[in-house]
Amino acid sequence: MQSFHRIRFASALLTLAVLPSLCARAAERVTLRSGSQFDCSRQEAAGDHVRLFLLTAVTTGDAANYVEVPATSVVSVESIPDPPAVPAAEPAFHSAAPLTQAEMTQMLARAGEQHNIDADLLASVIKAESNGNALAVSRAGARGLMQLMPGTASTLGVQDSFAPEQNIRGGTAYLDQLLTRYKDNIALALAAYNAGPIAVDRYHGIPPYRETRAYVARVIREFNRRKLATLASARASSTHP
């Protein structure tokens, strides 16, 4: 049996405050020293620079629509309301039928094993991101089970974010990158998954965004619920062989 070293954080995370569930994903307004402001769907580190992916990329479909600025030029990052919902026509070949529990379990197990991440953590992220809806589209344009933005999906090699296995594979790879970046601190990795790593780095921890704090608490609460349920089931099995 393979042991996932990232499980060791589960008990410590039980002590985090649980906040009300809110909309998980928020756009951000980035202000530069020059006074310029950019409304972004996400940010990515690029050496000593930051790529600010503009909200206009969501409506135009241009995943390369970003502005690259020196990281030191960013003076503030604040959460802003989601832009108006953009109707999205789903490809006709995508079935609206939900995944079976067995299919989901197998996909999460494969992705978790590949990246050494507990499948229950992945399931908890999916619960918070899309509630298991493979065709989910957020107001900011994030897609699929793990709500990948088009630019992120492209970077991760995901050709179809509405294909469950591709989406899970890409989302897991991205979460793995964040866990590595934050030395397996699950709370910080989740905050970065929701608000972007630039925001986490700027605030040296979970950003003071209501949506992000609620998101982190929601995922952790679900993760711990799953681990406690597994522990209770194991104890019951040992008591009644």
pLDDT averaged per 10 residues in sequence order, the chain, 241 residues: 43 40 54 80 78 58 64 80 43 60 94 96 96 90 93 91 95 96 95 90 89 94 93 80 61
What is the total count of domains within the chain? 1
Please tell me the predicted confidence (pLDDT) of residue 218: 95
- Look at strands 66-70 and 37-46 and give their pairing: unpaired
φ, ψ at 221 (rounded to 5°)? -60, -45
Please tell me the predicted confidence (pLDDT) of residue 128: 95
| Alpha carbons 225 and 231: distance in angstroms, whole number | 10
Look up 165 and say whether it is catalytic.
no
Strand segments, DSSP code E, in the chain are: 27-32, 37-46, 49-54, 66-70, 74-80
* DSSP result, 2-66: ---GGGGGHHHHTTSPPPPP--S--EEEEEETTS-EEEEEEEEEETTEEEEEETHHHHH--TT-E
Where residue 99 falls (left for φ over 0; alpha for ψ -120 to 50; beta otherwise) is beta
- Which residue is associated with the tokens 């307004």? 29
| Alpha carbons 37 and 3: distance in angstroms, whole number | 46
**From residue 219, how far is each of 28, 39, 127, 129, 200 by CA, in Å?**
21, 26, 8, 9, 17
φ, ψ at 47 (rounded to 5°)? 70, -125
Please tell me the predicted confidence (pLDDT) of residue 91: 46
Please tell me the predicted confidence (pLDDT) of residue 97: 62
Please tell me the predicted confidence (pLDDT) of residue 139: 84
Task: Specify if 52 maps to a domain.
Answer: no
Task: Specify if 42 maps to a domain.
Answer: no
Task: Specify if 48 maps to a domain.
Answer: no
Task: Specify if 21 maps to a domain.
Answer: no
Q: Which domain holds residue 175?
A: 5-15+98-239
What is the amino acid identity at position 94?
H
Indicate which CATH number applies to the domain containing 144.
Answer: 1.10.530.10
Task: Specify if 170 maps to a domain.
Answer: yes
Please tell me the predicted confidence (pLDDT) of residue 56: 52
Please tell me the predicted confidence (pLDDT) of residue 81: 54
Task: Specify if 34 maps to a domain.
Answer: no
Q: Which of 28, 129, 211, 222 is flagged as catalytic?
A: 129
Task: Specify if 169 maps to a domain.
Answer: yes
Task: Specify if 78 maps to a domain.
Answer: no
